[in-house]
Structures are given as C-alpha cells and as structure tokens.
Structure 1
Amino acid sequence: MDSGFGSEVMQSPNIYCYSVLTENYQHILALVFAVKEVNENIQLLPDITVGFEIFDTYLESKLTYRAMMQLISPRNRLLPNYDCGIHGIPKAIIEGLEAVISHQLTTALGFYKIPQLLFSFDPVRMDRNQVCSFYQMVPNDTRQHRGILQLLQYFKWTWIGLLAVDNVNLEWFMQYMFPEFSKNGICFAFMESFSITGYLEEKGEFMTWILGIYNKIMNSKATVLVFYGDDPKMLILRWLMAKSQMVNTTQKAKDKVWILTAQADLKSYGRKEQSWKIQDFHGAISVGVHSNELKGFQEFLQSRNLACDKEDGFIREFWSHAFDCVIPDSVFGKIGGDNCTGEEMIESLPRNYLPISVTGHSYSIYNAVYSVAHALHAMYSSKQKVMKGGREKIQSWQLHHFLKRVSFNNSAGDEISFQDNGEIVGKFDIINWVTFPNQSFIRVKVGSQDPQAPPDQTLKINEKSIVWHNSFNQAQPLSMCNDNCHPSYRKKKKEGEPFCCYHCIPCPEGEISDKNDIDYCFQCPADKHPNKDQNLCIPKIVTFLTYEEPLGTALAIGAVSFSLITVLMLGTFMKHHNTPIVKANNRNITYILLITLLFCFLCALLFIGRPQKVTCLLRQTIFGIIFSVALSSVLAKTITVVLAFMATEPGSRMRKWVGKGLANAIVLFCSLIQIGLCTVWLTTSPPFPDVDMHSVTDEIVLECNEGSGTLFYCVLGYMGFLGLASFSVAFLSRKLPDTFNEAKFITFSILVFCSVWLSFVPAYLSSKGKYMVAVEIFSVLTSSAALLSFIFFPKWYIIVLKSELNNREQLMWRNELRK
C-alpha cells in the first residue's frame, strides 16, 4: 500500500519540499484496523494470518518504480521476479490515492496479474481489454461527473467555470462529459487546464500565466467553479489563489462556490501553511467517496499512543507534526523545540489534522482489505489450492475469480460487491467544507448521490445543513449567464453566445409563462385565461345574458313595456273597430299586425336567460316567422292602399283584386315561405346549446349555436326582402291623396326597420358573447317599436285624443280641403 503520508508541497515555482500529511495517517490506521479485525475473526480466515507492507512513494516516479520492484522481490533484497522464502509476491496490492501513481503501478504490474485495488480513476487509461487485474474501490469518474451534473441541476447553476489538472483530463472531459453537460442545460464560462510543467524555468512567464487564470476566474460572472483534480493539484490551486491575491492588488477577489471532485481534498499541511489561506474554499461542496462509521474505529484511533505503539513506523512522524513537538533522538538527543511528552491526546487535535470520523478513502481502504479477505475465504472454502513444497500456496492470479464475485456486508452495514467491469457498486457523499480563521476545517455530510437508486431518488440533499460562503449571507448562490426570465417572460437566445445566455422578452398577448426561464410561452386551456400579469391561468367566468344583470333587466323591461303598449293599442282598436279610422285599410290585417308585433316583443324574452335546448330551437325560428308575418301584413296593407287608389279610376280592372282576400293571401303566402325555410333549418341543422370558450378572453359564454349559418342568414335575408318590398311599394304610394292613406307612415316605419337591420349585421358580427344576444334583442325591439309607432300611434292618437275627427264626414271634408 502507498500510504500517501508524505506529500509534495510547492513553496514556489521552482522549489519543492516534502511535508507530512497528518490527515493521511487515518488511511494507515484504517488498514491496520481492518487487518487486525480480519486476523481476530476466526470464522473468516482460520489458521491464516494476513500481513501487509506499506511503501511511501512521495509522489515521485523513481520511488514508485522502486517500490514496485520491491513488491516482486524477496524481502530486503532487490531481486525482481525471484520468489523465495515465505515472503513472496503479494497476493493483492492496495494502491495509493493519486491517479499518477496508480497509473504507473497498473501499467507495470499488469503483466503479473496481481489483483490491484485502486482508489483513483484515470478514465484515459481504462481499457478493460488490456488491463483486467484491477478493481475500482470508488465509483468511476463518469459517475462522479454525473453526480456533479445532478448537483448543478439541483441548485440551478447553469453558468460555471471548469479548472482541470492537465490537458489530458480536459480533453477527456470535452470528449465524453461536455456533451452531457450541455445536453442538460449547463454552459461553461471558461475551461482552463493548468499544470506547472514548462513554467518552472521562467518565473515571470509563470506568474503572468497564473495571474491570467486568476483574472479570468475573478472577472467571470460564473459564481460556481468546478475543480477537476487530485490532492497535489488542489495544493497547487491553493498556492495559485494565495499568490495571485498577493501579487494582484488591483483585482479584488470575488467569492466563489467551489465544486470539488472526490480526489481533491482540502489538506492540512501543518503550521507552515498559515500564509495559504483556505477561506476561499469556505462553503465548497465536493462529491466525495461514500463513507460510514466503523464500529470500534474511533476508539482504536484515539487509543494510539506514542509510548505504547512502538511497532508503528509512522506514529513518530505523525506525533511530532501534529502536536508540533520534538521527539528526542537516541543518538543526538534533543534537537530543538519542545519535547513530546507522549501524554498528548489525539482527540485534542483539530479535526483537519486527524479526522475522527472515517473519511471516504479510509473507508475504501477498510473495504479493500475485507474484499481480499473474503476472496481468500472463498478460495479456501472451495479448496482451489496449489500445493508446493508440502505447504498450501496460492498464486495471486487465482484470486481474480473470487474477487469478482465478492459480496458481503461490512461492519457498518453497507453491502460491498463489484460489477462485471471490476468497479465497486457504491455511491457518493455530498460534502460541505466549512473552514475557520485558524486554518482548520471540517467536513459536513449534507447529502448523497446513489447511481443505483430510482431516477427521482438519485440525489438527496439537506439544504438546511449547507454552509455557504459568508458573502452570500447564507442564501443559496446563483450562477447564471444572466438573470432568470421571470414568469410572463420567455427566453430569446443571444446571437454568438452560449445557449445559457439569452434575452428575456414578454409573452405575446393571450399567452403566459408560469416558470422561470421558459423557452416558449403557451396558451391557457380552453376553460382558463391569462391573468393580468400573464403568469397564471385563472378559470374563466361562465356567462350568459341573465335577467339579474342591468343589461338583461333593461331589455326585459323594454320588451314587457312595448308588449303592454301593443296590448293597449290592440284593445283600443278593437273597442273602436267600427270607426272609420279602424276600418280603413283592412281592419283584419291591422289586428294581425298588432298581434304579431305583440309576439315580436314577447319573443325577445326567449333570448334572455340560460340557453336551453327548447329555447335555442324556438327563439330564432319563432322570431323569424313572427317578423315575417308582421312584414307580410305591412306589405299587404301597402299593396291594398295602392290597389284601392288604382281601383277608383274609371274602367279599372283592379276592382276585382281589392278586398280582404288579396291581403290575406299575401300574408299567408309570404309567411309560408319563411315557415318553409325554418322547417328546413330545424330538420337539417337545428340550433343547439353550445359553449363558446374563445370569443371572449376571460369568459365561457353559454350560447345558442345557430347550427346552419347559411339558413340563419337566409331567414334574416328573407325578412330583409319583405322589408325592402314593403318600403318600395310604400315609398311609391306615399303621395296618394286620401285621408286613409297609410303609405307615408309605412314608409317611415319600414325605413327605420331597414336601417335597424342593416346596422344589425355588422354590429352582430363585431360583438362577442352575451352582447351578440343583446344586439339582436335591441334590433327586435327597435324595429318592432318602429312599426308600432309610425303605423299605429297616429291612429291611436286620433281615436283617443281627437275622437271628433274619427267620422266619415269630417275626414271626407279634410280630404276635400287637402285637394
């Protein structure tokens, strides 16, 4: 195992030194704790003791390859491929946490088919056809980046920056992950790859380069930055941020939300790093390797003691760096500083020096040991053994068959197993990093991301537990190219910019948007309409012309009033039916006309109230027939006047046409034509109750659908024809000299009638909802009132108020005077 206990610390562009990472001591203890438990478990590997060796490569290729040679050499002798004694080639290798080291070991040891349990993932070298000896103890980078994608979607962060550790990783991300991010609505303000290689010789060029990256980060509108790298590169990033802030005094640092990958941890490098402030990363979120509390591990960790654990080769380094004290050397004695007493308590250390809770990598190391132990148990249980020298001996390659099928529950209750490609079935923890002014920090688990869970349960986050950077005042940060398009607006793409950058334009009239950042506005359902702000659909009001509303009340009162007046006039005419003014121009036609006018006024009431099947069938047809009878009566009266004067001429043949029979025939004939039209209408396409949801924006209008529009306008057109015919005949006979001549009055009445109905058509077509009905009722009442007023009111006036004129002698004398 590569402990990672010693790590590079970059102090300047061309100076490196080594520093003890006290936090990584937990990884060693997790290995020791797991091996201790396995050896104490008599049911797992009875009569077999598991041992281990730890090599620290210090992140150097030379030391990495030397450690690899020692793995395949006899103990204390560098003789690769020479197997002697009981210490032969290891049965499994638990590799380090760094991708570079893991890559080097995998490439070289792949020929030996030694099971290699990895804790890092380099997607570029994942060719399962060439390398089939390793087992991934953490989910791969593809799953991790999908977890980051879900995290961005959850917080609605669409405008982000990306920093990668080198060009290779950035190229892989661009090829495999960039399309998926873009498909899910994530845009990149910038994508930078940084590496110190090639910049160490020219310090000025190096500083210009890092200041350029720093300025791009600070000037960007992206609040969220994704860092794709491991621990050493995280250290470089911290150095870059600190150095840039010291050098660039004109560029004010802006607070950002850092999204870290599982390989990148904030590390404590002791008291030497006080100038490298970590406050920039306060509130950062990482998609970390899943961990769980192991039973007894905290007690085991806290029981470590400088005096008692003399077999621990790492505890002296850990103790001196963690407690900032000096352990006296047996040869040189006290070197300098305060001596370590051995009485120091581990639980008194800041949590960033040695976490008490199990970290994701330590948890994976623990599971790796148990995976190998269970594979060995399965191998011995199946008695697949190779005998050598009278002793049982197994070869490393034999473990693969059993490792691939490992499945067990660890002491924390989590199930451990591998997929067919050797990757562990696992999930990620969402970690919130909280820093403090004294350079300490803690990890707070605020959620999880489980790729195996149902789609709607993959990501779980407790937002209340998240601590954001202080500048955000504990409000969730926003990271967008521009502000949201609020409801009632929609997005319009900005030309030449990524799709996350857009204008916000208002929705067209009649359409709404009820969410932020909608691409298209939409219309409400038929039974709803947009509100004033165009951000909500509200139910339409069901409406029709009712008696209760002022308009309906006024029209109803008008219809009843005119009906009463008509009844009054009819009663007056019937009471004085033998008087000359009533008998003039066919008394029966007068009665028919008055009765039809009465029904004309009353039929207006059929148009008021909730449309029903019966009222819809009757109101237009009854109105059409009654009005046709009225107009036919007017036409008959007019023709009677003309024929009467023509019959008075000597030798005229018209006398035989003058009489009640002709007038009755005209009324009957003209009325039958309208009755025929209405009958065809009712039998082919009759009116019916209908709902109009579109004419009026905010109303559902209950109406009578006229069925056949053609027949409806034929009925109206026929009435217009009768009115025009009556007007023509009356106009031509208006100057006939006779006291009983009604032609002038009929001319005026028909003129008003025609004017009303000619105005009716455009008014009716331009009206909507219940106002269409009101227009028709008004036209019915007005035209009927015109006939009643101009034809009958003058006669009624003479009968009631000027009765002395209602005699034959008086009327004949007035006629002579007029001549």
Structure 2
Amino acid sequence: MLVFQVIALLLSLLGPRHTSSEEECQPWQDLDSAVVHKDGQVILAAMFPIHSKSVEQELNFRSMPDKRKCKGLSLRSLRWSQSMIFFIEEINRNPTLLPNITLGYRIYDTCWTMALSARTALSVISQPLKRNSTGACSSPTIPLLIGDPSSSSSMSISRLLNLNKVPMISYFASCACLSDKMQYPYFFRTIPSDSYQASAMARLVMHFGWTWVGTFGADDAYGRTGIDMFTAEVTHLGACVAFRVIIPKSPTQQQIQDIVKLMKDSTARVLVGFAIEEDIQPVLEEMVRQNITGRLWVASEAWVTSTLISNKYPIPGFKDFLQSLRPFSEPYNPSAQEFWETVFQCSFNTSLPLGSMADQVQYNRMCTGEERIQDTETIYNDVSQLRVTYNIYKAVFAAAHALHNLLICQTQESSTVIKYLKEVNFTTEFGDSVYFDKYGNPPGTYDIVNWQKDPRGGPMHFATVGRFDSSLPPEQQLLIHQDAIVWPGGSKEMPVSVCSASCQPGYRKAPRKGEPICCYDCVPCAEGSISNGEVYQPECTLCPEDLWSNPQRDSCVDKQIEFLSFTEGFGMALAATSILGVAATVTVAVIFIRHKDTPLVRANNSELSFLLLMSLSLCFLCALTFLGQPSRWACPLRRTAFGLTFALCLSCLLSKTLVVLMAFRATLPGNNAARWFRPPQQRFGVFICSAIQCAVCVAWLTTSPPYPVKNTWLYRDRIILECHLGSVALFGCVLGYIGCMAAFCFILAFLARKLPDNFNEAKFITFSMLIFCAVWIAYIPAYVSSPGKFTVAVEIFAILASSFGVLLCIFAPKCYIIIFMPQKNTKKYLMSQKGGR
C-alpha cells in the first residue's frame, strides 16, 4: 500500500504546474491536515508520533486520497511536539542566537507509520509556492527536518531527503545502520547510536554474571539491528543468547501467547528488549495476565524512561508552557481538543473540527475549555523524565547554531546548512557538549536506571544507579552503584540467569554437544591442572613445571621431591648392605693379617691381596655416595669414586692373574719370565692401570663434570633429583675402560683355570670375573627400564653385587681353609699336584 501511495503522490507532485504569474500561486498544500504551523523567515519541519496508529482508508486512484486520520493519542509524544514549540520560542527570544531571524515551524503527526512519515518527507521537499507579504510568489525556506523517532522510517525518509540534500536530525532513531554515510550522508542525531547501547547493555549483563539471556526486538530496523549487535557483543564477552524473539508490529493474540510461552519455558531469567513501548506493551500485558514472575528486564533506552537531565536539571518554564495549552488557541493544534477530552473526560460540541482525531469518544459531560491542566497528573505535564525532550532540545539548538553560523559566515554561495551541522559544537545550559562525529552521531552516554516500586504503594519511580560513557577509557566506561539497586520483589539479592551453574573449584566446563557454550557439565580437572571456580574460567589451568595440583584440584602445591635417601627403607637396606660389605672385607683383612706367615697367605701374594681388599672396601663405600640428595659435589664424587675404585680393583685382579700365569711358566725349564713380574713390577702395573682411569676422570671433571638436575619429565606429579652425566662420551670411556680390564682379566684367568695346582687361584678369579661381567651386563637393561630413584638403586645393587662376587670368589675359599681346614694350610699341600697327597 505504501508503494502505491508514494507513486500516486509523486505523480501529483510532478504534474504540470503554472508558477509564472502571481495569479497562479498556490497556497501551501500539506498532504495531511494534522499539522501545527507558524510562519517565520526560516521554517523548521518536525515529525512526532502524536498518535500511535493510523486508520486504513480506501485508495481508488480516481480521486485524491483523503487526509490521513489517526487514533490512539500519545500524551508523551504530544509533550515532545510541544517541547519543539517551546525551544523555538526560546531561540526567537535569544538576542545572540539567530538575531533578526524569526524561526517558524511545521510539526507533523506521523502516527508511528512509515507511510505518513514518507508523505511528510514529500511535503517537505516539494515546498509549494505561496504569496509572501509583498504579494510575490515565494517558496518557504525549510533547511532541515527534525525527526523521525523511528529508525526504520528514518531510513526511508533520509533516502527521500537526499534527493534535495535536506538534512535530518533525529532525536530518537538509534539504529547503528544509520551511521552509514554512503547511504545516509545527511542524517544526524542527538541520541547515541545503538552500537554504543549494545556495548553498554552487554557490559551490564556481564557485570552481573548473567550468561544466559533472552532477547526481544521489534520488527523494524531498530529491533533487529539492536538484537544483532547485542548478541555479537555479549557473545564476544562469553555469554549466550537463549532465544531471539521478533515482535510483529501488529501481533495477533496467538503470536503474543507464543512469545510469552517461549519466555516462560526458557531457563533464562534475564530478558533484553530493543523496542519502543508500543511494541513491547502487548507482551508485558500478557505476562501480567499469566502472572509470570521471576523475570528481570534489561530495557533499551527506547522504553526504559531513563534520562540525562532528570530532576537535577529541570528546564525552566517548560512545565508552565505545557500547562498553558488550550484547545482552540493560536497557533491551532489539531490534537489539543482530543487531549482535552481525553484528560478531562468531557466532550466538546461535535460540530467543532476534530482535526485528525478518528476515535473520538463521546462523554456525558461537556467541556468548557476552562479546565486546568495544573490540576492533573499525566505523563504530559510530568517533567521529571525528560530524556527524549532533552534530545529534542539538543536537535533544535544544533539546527539553530548551524543556521546561525551559516548566516554570519556565508562567504560562498555554495555553502549549505549541512556543512555547518557537521561543525556544530556548543555547550548546553546543563553543561553537556553537543557535537556530531564523522558519522553524525553524538557520544554514547547513558544513565543506568532502576525501576523501583514504592513500598508504601505509591507510583513506580526511577533511580539512577549507574552510568555508561563511551568517551572514557574502557575500564572506566561502566560505573554501577550496586548497593542502590532493588531487584524484583524488592529483594537486595541479585538474581541469577545462567544455563549451567558455575563449576565448583577443581572442576572444568565440558560443553554439551549441540548446545551453546554457556550450557555445559562440570567435570573434574585432570591431574596437574586446577580451577579456582571463577565464572570466566572455562578450562583448567596447568600448574607450573615445579608445582602440582592438590587432591581437590583447586590450587597448585609443590611437587614431591624424590631421591634415594638414607632414611627410607630401601635406602637403609642398601646402606646396611654396603656397610656389611666393608665389614666383611675388613674381617678378611684381619684374618689375613693374623695368618700372614702361613703358606696359604704368603703363596697368594699377600701384598696384592691386601691391595685388593682395600679396593673392595672402597667399592663398598662407593655405593654410599649414591645415597642422599644429589648436589654439586655429590654427583662428581659418586661417578669418579665408582670409576677409580673399580679400576683399582680390576688392576689388582689383573696383576693376580698375571702372577699365576708367570708362576706357572717359571716352573718350566729355562723360562725366566717370572723375574720380569716381581712385586715392584706388580705395583707399577697396578699404578699404571689405575692412573689411566684417573686421567680420564680428571679430564671428565675439568671439561664437563656430572651435575644435579631436576627431572620433571619422567613423572608429572614428582620431581626426581638425579645426577646428569655431564660428558656422556667421557663417562663411556670410564665404563669402557673398566669393561676392557674385566674382559681381559676374565680371558687370562680362563686360560689359566686348569693349571696343575692344588689351589689354583686363576679358577676363582675366573668365577669372580664371570659374576662381575654378568652383573654389569644385566645392569644395562635394568638401568634403562628402572624409573626415578630406582635407577640409582639398580646402580648401587650392581656395585654391591659385583663387589661381593669378587670378595666371595677370591677370599671365601682361602678363609675357609685358614679357619676350618688348617691342615691344608701347609707348604707341602700347596706344592703338591692337584689330587696328590
């Protein structure tokens, strides 16, 4: 229907017109009669939704359409229109602003319909001719339009006004889409863009921890865009939208019931609305009818009735001006009579013109016209909440300042009011700066208002409990006085609106498949990670490398330090075994000392035997260095002590083996080899073999010695203190040298094992080396596969086992003969052949 109306109007406007003579001048023909007007040198046009609904009419395309009729008088919007007149009269009385210029006005009623808004825009840009005071035809000057309050209508109107480069200043259209200067180059507004409002509302919701909210919006650009921006902002901050509802402009009862049922069934307890009061009212009424409670509304500025000036900044004289309205005063206001009948419940003579009123109600009492508005309390004369009125104030004065600068600064004929609108910058009498950014927007500043019910049964009042100012740094933009808030039901306890309750400390959020991220299950944190129960912590946090989670998984504690200690049972057993080995070695030495003059002791090279016993004692003591906490001195000590003591032990065994071989060869006729392996040569051989190992150890200690490390990669919950080898190559040289001597000693002893002798020591050396090699060969896989401190235990076990193997195989048979079979400890027995008498 709107398309056909616009086409018809354009055809009528573009038809042939004769304006060449005074006789052909036409009076101003507005497309609608509900216009409040006053002449002036410069005329400002304005649009207000004085009525809420339009009356449908038949369009037959055979005659001009009738004047549009509307119904549903809005006292609040009527006050807005009156404020426009009040502010223009103030400007006309101001000697410094637009001096010698009289401002006129034309105020249109759009009835909240896009069709009438478009017709108004066409009326403004058509500007029909009329006679001026000199009798000549002229066109009234309308440099700009103030309005429209609807974002959707503003989008359509702006496109029409663009044709004639007529700017528009809106006092209520907040859709962020209107900031697009490519589409709306001449659009300005004194209400902040919804982009600021969406950010403010999202920050407000997150401030109170409401992560599960429902959204409502009107079926227009304001509602849809507002929901989209709020959803994007709140989702970015970590919250979720439970549902999205678009309220039709003319909803059926079934549609309203479906909307309320969706809200009732949802677990969201906080509802965010982007709609004017006319759109949201049917939903609220149905909620009241169904007695739905426990819901909290976060309302947009379109219906929350917040204010920037409230009671602190009253507009002087405004209330008196509102109360001076009369039904038939000049300039004639078509809505004044309807206002009078509505407020005073009376009727005028029905023959009087009713203007655009289409739903007149006849009352039994006749109106006199002398009734006093002062005696009534309506939203019309309530000047405590003047948020939109203040926006109108800024729009009118911004237009006046732009016109003022245009008139006094115009040096080029091409200058227009648009250029000066972009440069407007003034301070209101209330201390607020008024200017437009490059998108035609003011700064985003909002009061946060709390609806509070009077406990004594009085009317609802609005308490300012916070403020949002986009011009401040991000951390200072939102300010809330939470103690001043009264929650639904008069409670001081903040309501909760979440899909899933916050996880307790020690638990993390596990998202539910196919549901928003705000809906989750709580599962325990894994070992080594914690959560402290903060609302915005979706995952568990890993503890630092040297810390571990406590059993409750809510804090990190020091990891358990692990090393093979003297004080634990296993360490005590190994230490006792080591000491036992030393005691056994000393016992053997004592037995040998007491029987040093016996043939058995003397025949087995007592000097090498005592040197071997000393080295075995050092081997047993060496095992003790592997116990206890690794340190910078303990790590080099245990490795070098192991290498040197075993090198000394094997050097002695090697010398003993060579002595046996040389002794056998000395019994052969003409062989003098034994004289080359006497005690001095034996001592020198032991020294040389030990010195080589000592040289390797010195090189190891000076270049890259062993050092203590914290092993955090083997176990996640423990720290293993161990010794790093430093130079692995030099450690390999130490082990390789010991292995080579053991292998060489074993080969020589194996070759001499069957030499004819009653007490062939080579046989015992063979057994000892067999045990020695078996132990250390088995040590390698056991060392690699043993975890943590058990690696050290395996090494100690190998040291002790190989040392006991040598001690028992070499010295146990001798001690047995010395103590229990002294008859064999004779020179005759030792010199006899094996098996002889």
State whether TM-score is above 0.5: yes
Q: C-alpha separation between the residues in 2 aligned to 1:722 and 1:631?
A: 6
- Please tell me whether the aligned partners of residues 72 and 82 of structure 1 are also in contact (alpha carbons under 8 angstroms): no
Among 262, 277, 280, the alignment partner of 1:234 is 280
Pick one of 373, 396, 403 that aligns with 1:369: 396
Q: 1:429 aligns with which of 447, 462, 468?
A: 447
Shift of 1:143: 3.6
Contact 1:9 1:235 (C-alpha < 8 Å) held by counterparts: no
The yes-or-no answer on 1:7 pairing with 2:52 is yes
Structure-1 residue corresponding to 2:299? 260
Q: Secondary structure of 2:426's match?
A: strand
Match of 2:723 among 665, 682, 704: 704
**Is the Cα–Cα contact under 8 Å of residues 50 and 110 in structure 2 kept in the other structure?**
no
Residues in 1 aligned to 2:345 and 2:200: alpha-carbon distance in whole angstroms:
44
- Between the aligned residues of both structures, percent identity stands at 33
In the TM superposition, residue 715 of structure 1 has moved relative to its aligned partner by: 3.2
Unaligned runs of 5+ in 2: 1-45, 56-68, 351-361
Query: Counterpart in 2 of 1:277?
Result: none
How far is 1:502 from its partner?
5.7
Amino acid at match of 1:215: K
Change (3 A) 1:702 1:43: farther
Deviations 1:375-402 (A, max 9, x none): 344345536699xxxxxxxx9x843222
1:593-648 CA distances to partner (integer Å, 9 max, x unpaired)?
A: 12212322343454455545454334312311211221332344355456656766
Query: Paired residue for 1:418, among 433, 436, 450?
Result: 436
1:95 aligns with 2:140: no
- The verdict on how the C-alpha distance between 1:534 and 1:501 changes in structure 2, with shifts beyond 3 A counting, is same
| Code of the aligned partner of 1:141 | D
Q: Choose between structure 1 and 2 for higher RCO, CA contacts under 8 A separated by at least 6 residues.
A: 1
Q: Which residue of 1 aligns with 2:314?
A: 297
> Do the aligned residues in 1 keep the contact of 2:347 with 2:367 (CA within 8 Å)?
no
Deviation at 1:297, TM superposition (A): 0.8
Contact 2:179 2:440 in 1 (8 A): no
| Residues 314-393 of structure 1: pairs in structure 2 closer than 5 A | 326=345, 335=365, 357-382=384-409
Root-mean-square deviation (CA, aligned residues, Å) is 5.3
Offset of residue 417 of structure 1:
0.8
Instruction: Give the TM-score of the pair, scaled to structure 1.
Output: 0.74
The residue number in structure 2 matching 1:283 is: none
Q: What are the superposed Cα offsets for residues 134-170 of structure 1, whole Å, 9 maximum, x if unpaired?
A: 3111122334334444445545555544433227667
User: Could you say if the C-alpha distance between residues 372 and 785 of structure 1 is closer, same or farther in structure 2, counting changes exceeding 3 Å?
Assistant: same
SS class of match (2:273): strand
1:309, distance to aligned residue in structure 2 (A): 8.7
Q: Shift of residue 587 of structure 1?
A: 0.9
Q: 2:783 aligns with which of 764, 780, 804?
A: 764
- Residues 72 and 468 of structure 1: CA distance in aligned 2, closer, same or farther (over 3 Å): same
**How far is the alpha carbon of 1:404 from its aligned partner?**
1.4
Tell whether the 8 Å contact from 2:509 to 2:538 is kept in structure 1 after alignment: yes
1:588 match: 607
Q: Which amino acid aligns with 1:193?
A: I
Distance 2:374 2:600 in 1: 133
Q: Deviation per CA, 1:13-34: give whole Å up to 9, x if none.
A: xxx9954545556645755665
Distance in 1 (CA, whole Å) between partners of 2:561 and 2:336 is: 83
Does the 8 A contact of 2:310 with 2:387 survive in 1? no
Question: Given that residues 198 and 226 in structure 2 are in contact (C-alpha distance below 8 angstroms), is that contact kept between their aligned partners in structure 1?
Answer: no
Q: 1:307 to 1:139 in 2, by over 3 A?
A: closer
Q: Does the aligned pair in 1 maintain the 2:213–2:268 contact within 8 Å?
A: yes
Match of residue 276 from structure 1: none
Structure 1: state its 5+ residue gaps. 11-15, 74-78, 200-205, 247-252, 267-287, 387-394
Which amino acid in structure 2 is aligned with residue 414 of structure 1?
A: D
**Residues 1:196 and 1:534: Cα distance change in structure 2 (over 3 Å):** same
C-alpha separation in 1, matches of 2:580 and 2:100: 116
Contact 2:125 2:161 in 1 (8 A): no
Asked if structure 2 preserves the Cα contact closer than 8 Å seen for 1:490 and 1:517, the reply is no
Query: Could you say what secondary structure the match of 1:297 adopts?
Result: coil
Correspondence list, 1:587-666, <5 A: 587-608=606-627, 611-638=630-657, 640-641=659-660, 644=663, 660=679, 664=683
User: 1:368 & 1:404 partners in 2: Cα distance?
Assistant: 13
The answer as to 2:135 corresponding to 1:82 is: no
**For the residues of structure 1 that align with 2:555 and 2:746, how far apart are their CA atoms?**
55
Instruction: Specify the alignment match of 2:264 in structure 1.
Output: 218
SS of structure 1 residue aligned to 2:610: helix
Cα distance in 2, alignment partners of residues 44 and 788 from structure 1 = 117
Write the letter of the residue equivalent to 2:301.
A
- Aligned counterpart, 1:137: 190
Q: Structure 1 residues 66, 708: closer, same or farther in 2, change over 3 A?
A: closer
| Per-residue deviation, residues 514-567 of structure 1 (Å, max 9, x unmatched) | 666767666443333333344544444566566677776776676566556645
Deviation at 1:364, TM superposition (A): 1.3
C-alpha change, 1:516 and 1:557, in structure 2 (3 Å) is farther
Distance 1:813 1:420, change over 3 A: closer
- 1:117 is matched with which residue? 169
Q: Higher mean Cα deviation, 414-423 or 675-684? A: 675-684
Q: Distance in 2 between matches of 1:7 and 1:127?
A: 28
* 1:395-419 residue CA offsets vs partner (Å, 9 max, x unmatched): 9x84322221111222332221111
Q: Counterparts of 1:10-159 in structure 2 under 5 Å?
A: 18-24=71-77, 27=80, 31=84, 34=87, 38=91, 42-44=95-97, 54-60=107-113, 80-82=128-130, 84-85=132-133, 88-90=140-142, 92-100=144-152, 102-103=154-155, 105-111=157-163, 113-118=165-170, 119-122=172-175, 128-129=181-182, 131-155=184-208, 157=210, 159=212
Q: CA deviation at 1:706?
A: 0.4
Q: Which residue identity is paired with 2:405?
A: A
Indicate the larger mover: 232-241 or 669-678.
Answer: 669-678
Q: 1:443 to 1:32 in 2, by over 3 A?
A: farther
TM-score normalized by the length of structure 2:
0.72
Name the SS for the 1:263 alignment partner. Answer: coil
CA contact under 8 A between 2:611 and 2:652: conserved in structure 1?
A: yes
> For residues 422 and 115 of structure 2, what CA distance do their matches in structure 1 show?
32
1:525 aligns with 2:541: no
- Partner residue of 1:76? none
Per-residue deviation at 1:705? 1.4
Is 2:723 aligned against 1:693? no
Q: Number of aligned pairs?
A: 757
Partner of 1:271: none
Pairing 1:450-599 to 2, within 5 Å after superposition: 450-470=469-489, 474-480=493-499, 482=500, 496=514, 509-511=527-529, 523-540=542-559, 562-563=581-582, 566=585, 569-570=588-589, 573-574=592-593, 576-599=595-618
Deviation at 1:126, TM superposition (A): 6.3
- Check the 8 A contact 1:636/1:666 in 2, yes or no: yes
- What does residue 285 of structure 1 align with? none
The aligned amino acid for 1:234 is I
Match of 2:58 in 1: none
Worse-matched range after superposition: 748-757 or 614-623: 748-757
* Structure 2 CA distance for partners of 1:408 and 1:666, relative to 1, 3 Å: same
Residue number in structure 1 paired with 2:17: none
Measured in 2, the distance between the counterparts of 1:503 and 1:296 equals 51
Any conservation in 2 of the 1:255–1:471 contact (CA below 8 Å)?
no
The alpha-carbon distance between structure 1 residues 34 and 498, as it changes in their structure 2 partners (threshold 3 A), is same
Matches within 5 A, 1:788-807: 788=807, 791-792=810-811
Kindly provide the CA deviation profile for residues 9-55 of structure 1, in whole angstroms up to 9, marking residues without a partner as x: 99xxxxx9954545556645755665576566555455666565644
CA distance in 1 between counterparts of 2:382 and 2:570 reads 81
- Which residue of 1 is the match for residue 246 of structure 2? 193
In the alignment, is the contact (CA less than 8 A) between 1:29 and 1:301 conserved in 2?
A: no
